[in-house]
Amino acid sequence: MKKLYGVIGDPIAHSLSPAMQNKELKELGIDAYYHPFRIEGKDLKTAVEGMKVIGVEGFNVTIPHKTAIIPFLDKIDPLAKAIGAVNTVVREGDHFVGYNTDGVGFVESLREDWKKDLNGERVLIIGAGGAAKAIYYTLLSIGVKRVDICNRTLYKAEELIAAQPYEADSKAIPLDVAETNIDKYSLVIQTTSIGMAPEIDKSPISLRGIRPSAFVSDIIYNPDQTLFLNQAAQKGAKTQNGLGMLVYQGALAFEKWTNVKPDVTRMKRTLT
């Protein structure tokens, strides 16, 4: 019987995961289908129970459910637990197990586009949601020491920093302080949904003072060039949108569901 996979989030219509995953399933001759489900926060528990009952084999989790889903799963893999966010759920027997492939996916795509030894870099992460947690944790786990986090709600950035086991020289800072000190950072990573379609005229902070030698990453992939990335590019900075991360986190999820290694280059080609 055809296996069913999917992605849950709200909004979800913009997601490129269905196109990318369905193409790869087809290319590899796997009899399965990947469907987007728009699930509101109030329905999350019921939705997870429903997916279990109807036999869904696995699914991705996107904004805004990555942390909220944790209590509704049967088991959380240690990495996802340490990160505090789940973006991939796998059916293992009767259990739904939560994993996180965002952090590793992000770093793989960063390494591809910015060939730098990351360890000495001073990094700013904007946002303190599920993706920020994964990226922060993963950067620290590979030895990056100086990663500040700015967020509209400051205590969330403070909590995120306090929750990680790695020793780091990190500060939680308000958005206006980040803006004023933006020239201190060589790598800036935008992890919020601000600037995502249809609100393409929004940006979380101004990059007026960004160094031309900086690398600026926005995990949004719709539009492919956010206002934030545009501003960085205008200042001469190298930029990267969220397509690379989408591909790598999706490839890791694909392998967990099917035990088959997908063709990352082909997945990338599907999206461009």
- Residues of this chain that bind ligand SKM (CB under 6 A): 7, 15, 17, 60, 62, 87, 102, 246, 249
Q: Which whole-number Å values give the CA distances from 28 to 16, 32, 58, 244, in the listed order?
A: 19, 10, 18, 21
Active-site choice (2, 3, 52, 66): 66
Which tokens hold the place of 182? 């933006």
- Between residues 65 and 146, which has the closer beta carbon with respect to ligand SKM? 65
CB 91 within 8 A of CB 58: yes
Q: Output DSSP code: residue 55.
A: T
- Between residues 237 and 247, which has the closer beta carbon with respect to ligand SKM? 247
CB of 221 to ligand SKM, least distance (A): 7
**CA–CA dist 94, 71 (Å, integer):** 16
Residue type for position 44: L
CB 14 within 8 A of CB 261: no
CB of 211 to ligand SKM, least distance (A): 28
CB of 125 to ligand SKM, least distance (A): 15
Run of H or E residues at 52: helix 44-54
The answer to whether residue 145 is catalytic is: no
Q: Which whole-number Å values give the CA distances from 208 to 127, 179, 181, 232, in the listed order?
A: 19, 8, 11, 8
- Between residues 102 and 121, which has the closer beta carbon with respect to ligand SKM? 102
- Between residues 19 and 154, which has the closer beta carbon with respect to ligand SKM? 19
- The neighbour count for residue 30, using CB atoms within 10 Å, is 17
CB of 261 to ligand SKM, least distance (A): 18
Active-site residues, by number, are: 66
